[in-house]
Chains A and B, each alone.
Chain A
Amino acid sequence: MSRQLVVGTATCGVAAGASRVLARLQQVVADGKLDVEVTETGCIGLCYREPLLEVRDGGARRLYADVTPELAEKLARGEESDPSVAAHLLRTGDGDDVDGTLRHQKRIVLSRCGSIDPGSLPQYLETRGYQALRKALGMKPADVIEEVLKSGLRGRGGGGFPTGKKWQFVAAQPPGEKYVICNADEGDPGAFMDRSVLEGDPFSVLEGMAICGYAVGANHGVIYCRAEYPKALVRLRAAIRMAEEAGYLGANILGSGFSFDIHIKEGAGAFVCGEETALMASIEGRRGMPRFRPPFPAVSGLWGRPTNINNVETFANLWWILLEGGAAFAAMGTERSKGTKVFALAGKVRRGGLVEVPMGMPIRQLVTEIGGGVGEGRTFKAVQLGGPSGGCIPAAMCDLPIDYENITATGAIMGSGGLVVMDDTTCMVEVARYFLSFTQAESCGKCTFCRIGTKRMLEILERITAGQGEPEDIDRLLDLGQKVKQSSLCGLGQTAPNPVLTTVQYFREEYEAHIREKRCPAHSCNALVQYVILSDRCNGCTLCSKACPSGAIVGERKKPHEIVLEKCIKCGRCIATCNQGAIAKV
């Protein structure tokens, strides 16, 4: 059997240069001199070492990291003992990677990501694909729901509502036209697990939707996917076509008499459309604005019909639950949060990527052991969990085991599982301002407090970060925050103040330093810092003085320069151009 070279070509891999690697390898294959086969796969989650390439040689598998086209060619020629090649070896077989990122993971949702070719139905079938649907079709729909209930699976999109219960509500509606919607409008900045699953294992989502359709008595499925994920859309469309041709979708699936079709709706860029009633309004061709619940979608959803909405990760768990049993799933995790959860590790962490761990793992273990901690010489300060609807949890509280209730008790939310790590250079007031600017812009404008309250809160935060904060501002923020939470119709407004409220709760001293001392402890807020040139590092290359738009940098060529503080507008262009690291903010 020829050697197989498998390139990770999910969006993150491509961004790191995987398409150049792939192109070079395809050239090698076209030359026909070497007996190698080149295929693609999705994201294994080790995004910080992309592009990744796995060599499959008989039964052996070796994964190489930071692959360049030149390195790929060497691997194609089998020069794996070359020391310059061996240095890139990340892991062998199914074992641990050299960094230890995979050690503590338990992969269900991500089990096929980065392993199979997402464009190959045969490979999906070889890895137990569509066995769960076959099994479900042999069961009574009520028994399928019972199994999901037993698993304790809760909605992975953020709400955490028990999936089996939701299905029961929809199944209990009188028979007739019903819908299953897959929410793939992953809008939280900092979360990208749904994209990875759609790109790396699209069939698992289709299978999960079909199982759900059978259980609740729906024959139509809709995937509402962000238009910002072009690659996911391409892979989904291809997967749907292949599943239809092979009889896993469409009329009379596997001869069971059950029919189920799936259509894709492309989102048009509105964060609020992740909210289920807004999402349905968008599918129906209207402005994506939420409406009052009840009636819940289970009773009156898409086109006024009973509708079951789950997110990508929820659907991707189902095949495993059906095959291994709900009890096996419920054996993992904490008392009220079962199974595993995928987290997107990003921010000031060394090994960013996608990780899947059992519920109940302490946040600190996730950040330090799996993520490798923060950069050299930096201190781990906080994690931001749950995107703009979530909150900041300080490092001191990070021994908390992750589960829905624990996270909610801190003031943050589990959300979709975006986990952004912050170190001592991150200003918490600025983080709060950033998230609020996001939700303020994304508010659909229906509820007054969400529309205007977030605007007023943002103005206060802008004032504080600009060094013009007033002593009463913290109380104003808390008061407004509570009111926005209480008087908003949907999840967006009800959670928008969370980043502000949690940062005030845990990092109040930073707010006070900004307001009273006009000082930014993290040296991040431009208005409250001064730029200085470190004379021992400056080599007088004049790059900064050329880049400075206000002529504030003076000095002779090849001698240390200086910044004239009165002229400096603190734009940061000098730091961006300096290649000696000689300019600092103090």
Chain B
Amino acid sequence: MTQQTGSFFARALWMTEGRQADVIPLLQAAQEAYGYVPERAMEEIAGVTGVPVSEIYGIVTFYKQFRLTPRGKYVLKLCDGTACHVNGSPDLEMAVEDALKIKRGETDADLLFTLEVVNCVGCCSLAPVIMVNDETHGTLTPRKVTTLLKKIRTEAKAS
């Protein structure tokens, strides 16, 4: 994942025309810059668009994409779409929980991994699937998941 910097969000704030329609793209920019939507970002978006912070908070909590807490370097999007579900995504979730000691929606202590359970990433014929940041891994088994996570951890330590 190419993590953007704070200046990316600052630039987005400067470029905006400040309409109500810009609220969601600005929130997306904030999240891309910081990995989550900080309170301060909501205040700044309210400042340029004139939409009250309370309403912006309502938007943030309505859409699943937005997070109010920081995430790990690697975000695991575990697909629990129909095909993945009938092909064993619950077993994969258990394997991730066991390996990382985190539950869905949580981030581990060293901010390396976040586990999210998502609806469908559209790779149903390769079910069950996990996306690690933007990379999709298909036809997984609990065993393959454990190996994959180990590999990522080793690579992260090395870099």
Do the two chains belong together in a single complex?
yes
Residues of A within 8 A of B (CB): 11-12, 14-16, 47-48, 50, 186-192, 195, 227-230, 265-271, 282-289, 344-348, 352-353, 384, 387, 418, 420, 422, 426, 431, 434-435, 438, 442, 444, 571-573, 575-577, 579
Cβ–Cβ contact B120 & A188, under 8 A = yes
Cβ–Cβ contact B126 & A420, under 8 A = no
Cβ–Cβ contact A190 & B124, under 8 A = yes
Task: Report A-chain residues with C-beta under 8 Å of the C-beta of B129.
Answer: 15
Q: What residue of chain B has the Cβ atom nearest to residue A188's Cβ? A: B120
Give A267 to B64 CA distance when docked, in angstroms: 10
Q: What residue of chain B has the Cβ atom nearest to residue A194's Cβ? A: B122
Cβ–Cβ contact A348 & B59, under 8 A = no
Q: B94 to chain A: closest CB distance in Å?
A: 7
Cβ–Cβ contact A269 & B65, under 8 A = yes
Given contacts A270-B63, A420-B82, A572-B94, contact A346 B124 (CB under 8 A): yes
Task: Report A-chain residues with C-beta under 8 Å of the C-beta of B138.
Answer: 12, 15-16
Give A15 to B123 CA distance when docked, in angstroms: 8
Given contacts A576-B95, A577-B142, contact A16 B119 (CB under 8 A): no
Cβ–Cβ contact B64 & A187, under 8 A = no
> Which 3 pairs between the two chains have the least Cβ-Cβ distance?
A352-B125, A189-B81, A47-B125
Task: Report B-chain residues with C-beta under 8 Å of the C-beta of A418.
Answer: 82, 124
Q: Mark B107-141, 1 if CB is under 8 A from A, else 0.
A: 00000000000111111111101000011111101
Q: What residue of chain A has the Cβ atom nearest to residue B83's Cβ? A: A346
A-B CB contact pairs (8 Å), 17 listed: A12-B123, A48-B125, A187-B120, A189-B83, A189-B119, A191-B122, A284-B21, A285-B22, A285-B49, A286-B20, A287-B59, A344-B124, A345-B125, A347-B124, A352-B125, A418-B124, A576-B91
Does B30 count as interface, using CB distance less than 8 angstroms?
A: no
Q: Mark B80-106, 1 if CB is under 8 A from A, else 0.
A: 111111110011001100100000000
Task: Report B-chain residues with C-beta under 8 Å of the C-beta of A285.
Answer: 19-24, 49, 51, 59
Q: B110 to chain A: closest CB distance in Å?
A: 24
Task: Report B-chain residues with C-beta under 8 Å of the C-beta of A50.
Answer: 126
Q: What residue of chain B has the Cβ atom nearest to residue A579's Cβ? A: B143
Give A195 to B24 CA distance when docked, in angstroms: 22
Give A107 to B118 CA distance when docked, in angstroms: 31
Given A11-B121, A576-B142, 9 other A-B contacts at CB below 8 A?
A: A50-B126, A189-B85, A229-B122, A268-B24, A286-B20, A347-B124, A348-B86, A352-B127, A438-B119
Task: Report B-chain residues with C-beta under 8 Å of the C-beta of A434.
Answer: 82, 85
Task: Report B-chain residues with C-beta under 8 Å of the C-beta of A577.
Answer: 142-143
Task: Report B-chain residues with C-beta under 8 Å of the C-beta of A189.
Answer: 80-85, 119-120, 124
Cβ–Cβ contact A422 & B86, under 8 A = yes
Does B13 count as interface, using CB distance less than 8 angstroms?
A: no
Interface centre among A266, A268, A286, A422 (most CB of B within 10 A): A268
Residues of B within 8 A of A (CB): 19-25, 27-28, 49, 51, 58-59, 62-66, 77, 80-87, 90-91, 94-95, 98, 118-127, 129, 134-139, 141-143
Q: B3 to chain A: closest CB distance in Å?
A: 15
Q: A303 to chain B: closest CB distance in Å?
A: 9
Give A347 to B134 CA distance when docked, in angstroms: 23
Task: Report A-chain residues with C-beta under 8 Å of the C-beta of B23.
Answer: 285
Task: Report A-chain residues with C-beta under 8 Å of the C-beta of B141.
Answer: 576
Given contacts A268-B65, A270-B63, contact A347 B126 (CB under 8 A): no
Given contacts A268-B27, A572-B94, contact A230 B134 (CB under 8 A): yes
Cβ–Cβ contact A576 & B65, under 8 A = no
Q: A347 to chain B: closest CB distance in Å?
A: 5
Cβ–Cβ contact B136 & A270, under 8 A = no
Cβ–Cβ contact B124 & A11, under 8 A = no
Task: Report A-chain residues with C-beta under 8 Å of the C-beta of B82.
Answer: 189-190, 346-347, 384, 387, 418, 420, 434-435
Give A420 to B87 CA distance when docked, in angstroms: 11
Q: A438 to chain B: closest CB distance in Å?
A: 7
Q: A16 to chain B: closest CB distance in Å?
A: 6
The one of B98, B120, B121 in contact with A573, judged by C-beta atoms closer than 8 angstroms, is B98
Q: B149 to chain A: closest CB distance in Å?
A: 14
Cβ–Cβ contact A11 & B136, under 8 A = yes
Q: What residue of chain A has the Cβ atom nearest to residue B140's Cβ? A: A15
Q: A208 to chain B: closest CB distance in Å?
A: 20
